[in-house]
Chains A and B, each alone.
Chain A
Amino acid sequence: MKDISYKDFKSENEVRWCAGCGNYAIMNAVQRTMARMGIPRERFAVISGIGCSSRIPYYMSTYGFHTIHGRAAAVATGVKCANPRLSVWVMTGDGDAMAIGGNHFIHLIRRNVDVNLILFNNRIYGLTKGQYSPTSERGVTTKTSPYGTIEDPFVPGQLALGAQGTFFARTIDISLKISQDVFMAAAEHTGTSVVEVLQNCVIYNNGVHSAITDPEFKAERQLILEQGEPMIFGDMKDKGLIMEKGKLKVVRIGENGITKADVLVHDATEKDPLVHTALIRMKLPEYPVALGVIRNVDAPAYDREMTAQIKKIRKNRKMSSVEELLNSGNIWEVEENGKVTKEEFQSTRN
């Protein structure tokens, strides 16, 4: 197979996101990941719901399905079950996946259907022009909360892990390197891979993540997790995380007798979600924000189980055609003279 370039994944349609929208960078990273995967274009199906993020299939040259609000996860489940050979990607936003599609989001994850779900989290409804979303911080003023919201946001990763999530990663729209790395890891993971992308909405929520993304402070405020590596961050690489009294704590290496060896080592493959959940919940200013692959554990994937179960049952099956099924059970024959004869008993309904 000839090498595929990320450009091969771009469609001819004119991209219509606002100038400066974080989605451009996210799409770019997705396309570069797909090119790296070595799977031909026709084997990709990109499924989306409704919202700015969900326009992505129009700009991709793969098979695509722009569905209805909140339902992309359910549609994608059907796509993957119908054809497990496809690489299925769900493109969704915080409104689409956390509000109207919340039920499908958690059940997709619980079943562990082998799809990659990219959650564009800009903490706002962009396409409907600026209403607060289920990930908007308490107190935020928007068009529908002129006096500030009076509700707490979802933490998407926590929701994913609460639903028995097997893969969760976090990245930032403009961090192309991290994005490509986690998208690739998501693609390689068997089961539902959830990647939360902190995305900037330049029009309705500009700078929502800037405290995290600001280049001047990012080393202090971002913890980029690497498998098997200690959780160290900071301008001087002198800060780390330890677990104390069941809580994560930021410490300075070299102070109070803390050495590098005391810092927690990241293990995304740990089945117990305790540390992963704590990492997901970390927020400014007390903690840095965790990026990278936070959780990546093995578990049976729904679509594979479905295929395997059918295969196993078909191997020892008693019924091999519909004709046989129709003629199973209690059958009787009516002859021309009206005589009724009954065939042998066979197993049927119980």
Chain B
Amino acid sequence: MKDAKVIKLEEVAIRFSGDSGDGMQLTGTLFSDATALLGNDISTFPDFPSEIRAPQGTVGGVSGFQVQFGHKQVNTPGDYAHVLIAMNPAAVKANARFMQPGGTIIYDSDSFTEKNLMKAGFKTEDPFSECNLNDYFKIAIPISSLTKESLKKFDLDHKIILRSKNMFALGLVCWMFNRPLLYIDEFIRRKFANKSMVVKANIKVLHDGYNYGMSLQHMTPSYIVNPADIEPGRYRNIYGNHATAWGLLAAAEKAGLELFLGSYPITPATEILSVLSERKDLGVKTFQAEDEIAGISSAIGAAFAGDLAVTTTSGPGLALKSEAIGLAVMAELPLVVIDVQRGGPSTGLPTKTEQADLLQALYGRNGESPVVVLAASTPSDCFRYAYTAAKIALERMVPVILLSDGFLGNGSEPWKIPEMSELPDIKPPYAKNKRTFKAYARNEKTKVRKWAVPGRKGFEHLIGGLEKNISGTVSHDPENHQINCRMRQEKVDRVVDMVPDLEVYGEESGEVLIVGWGGTYGHLISTAREFRKEGKKVSLAHFNYIQPLPDNTRKVFEKFKKIVVCELNLGQFASYLRDKIPEFIYFKYNKMKGLPFTVQELKENIAKLLED
């Protein structure tokens, strides 16, 4: 037997792909978790259709899950996959453009029938040529029939047997990448705890897949990726939406408040609602409202009554919540609004990522209606920014919009678990003195009013959406309105004293400063890193605080010859910067495909700026 072909890599990206019913998300997740436990740094990106079960075998119904892992820092799920696992012809068609040149394609040859080729829209019997994949290393494995063979002694119906074929593929990939099956065995045992037959069947198929790889060494390449150099500490894998939910829990606990979430299901934000619904053991009150407006309105009511109040949504929902956000601005209540952005406008691309809600978050309301706007930049730092959003809202009596996105929310990465004691205190400005209390009397420095929660004797007062005077009574006085409009803006501006300085990755001066915000961080820092490896004077300034901007922003910008703002929209942050810091020229690189950037396209386009 020939020696196994062993490929040693710094980092490798694998894409699992099949019908939406093929269990590809689970397969990808299990592989990722097993990989993280081996000490590799990872980054994942699920990519699925908005239909739950689009017609079987069609390109529209293909569900994918990409994971990149490496022995160095991994900030993105990888532009292109080294290995594609394709459960049907449609998966090949849908993913051809995501393949690394010279990569490996493992496919279930049983499913490459004439009928399935037709369903996927292939015109010939050679799908690989049609997709220009001739130079790729292709491994045909009859996964369906091997799965059937593996389970022939089990008394299971045909459908259930075929449903286990993802485990065969997973076992095979685990062999290729040298992942032990221990963790996955354990997972299967827990998931199907009360179905011993299903547990046995799945574990059998998984191991048969693994052993099949071993016995086929002569034709299957095996990859070795050494563990990453990771900061010591306790780690776990975390999804962005989970991190957001947990950040809110941590903030409530720290502030000594009950957490209230008023929300309406919407992709890709729903998971925050379901994760928090599970946490009744920590006292969370989740309210699944009749619509987006009731979601935020109930949260505003809870804020008035003294809870840490949150509403979660995505772009269309944020639009519906606009008027109520204005109410929270006017009433000056602490409120956290989380927008897990997706492709728009309108229903747009529900399961795809985009950053095009920025201007909506900043300005999408009637009247002068300033709010604090933050953006998380990696799946795990959703925790930090959800916590911070709650802290700012509670301490400054202001609505805070936190922008996440589908890429962050559904993506995962290892996370060094923080200690609760490391997190900063949260101290809301509770009203203390009955005699001097006025609903809208302000702290001189921060312009923040006091929070007097119903139930407390002597602080009875009224708030509302009408313009008011210092006591909360309606006022149509022209001077008063102008003062209040300025005051509400100033209150937001003064949050800058809670905003850390903008950091620069790379040198603090140079040729090109890449500017980004939110979920593009991983791709932008990887780009900057690659440029710097090549000796190019390219640095990155990535924003988490949008309104107000960090105090040193101007100082960072002025040290670079060129500034290029990269974002997954048509240039919204660039417009905002032009308004706030007009003295610089902002170049732009934008993408609107419902997909994250690729490091490759960023490099190509930014390189042009270096040449000029």
Contact = CB atoms under 8 A, between A and B. Distances in A.
B358 interface: no
Interface in A138-195: none
Interface residues of B, number: 77
B236 A331 contact: yes
B246 A81 contact: no
Most central of B283, B304, B306, B420 by chain A CB within 10 Å:
B304
A256 interface: no
Contacts of A197: none
Given A66-B466, A103-B291, A82 B302 contact: yes
A83 B235 contact: no
B384 to A, nearest CB: 13
B424 interface: no
Given A103-B294, A350-B190, A79 B302 contact: yes
Contact of B287 (A57, A77, A318): A77
Given A41-B460, A75-B297, A313-B281, A330 B454 contact: no
A244 interface: no
Given A74-B297, A325-B279, A81 B287 contact: yes
Interface string A74-91: 111111111101100000
A157 to B, nearest CB: 20
Contact of A322 (B282, B290, B465): B282
A247 interface: no
A310 B280 contact: yes
B463 A71 contact: no
B307 A82 contact: yes
A53 to B, nearest CB: 14
A272 interface: no
Given A42-B459, A325-B249, A347-B190, A65 B474 contact: no
A64 B258 CA distance: 21
B285 interface: yes
B298 A74 contact: yes
A58 B460 contact: no
A75 B584 CA distance: 45
B285 A74 contact: no
Given A325-B282, A338-B229, A78 B463 contact: no
Nearest to A47: B301
A58 B462 contact: yes
Interface in B314-355: 323-324, 326-327, 331
A103 B260 contact: no
B420 A78 contact: no
Nearest to A346: B190
Contacts of B493: none
B285 to A, nearest CB: 6
B454 A334 contact: no
Contacts of B36: 330, 332
Most central of B235, B246, B260, B301 by chain A CB within 10 Å:
B301
Given A42-B460, A57-B464, 14 more contacts: A43-B455, A64-B463, A65-B463, A68-B324, A71-B327, A77-B287, A77-B294, A81-B287, A83-B455, A107-B290, A321-B282, A330-B37, A331-B417, A336-B232
23 contacts: A41-B457, A43-B454, A63-B461, A65-B464, A68-B327, A68-B465, A74-B294, A74-B297, A77-B298, A82-B302, A82-B309, A83-B306, A310-B283, A319-B279, A319-B282, A322-B246, A325-B246, A327-B234, A329-B236, A330-B183, A333-B233, A334-B235, A338-B229
Complex A-B, nearest 5 residue pairs according to Cβ-Cβ distance, in ascending order:
A78-B301, A66-B464, A78-B298, A74-B297, A82-B305
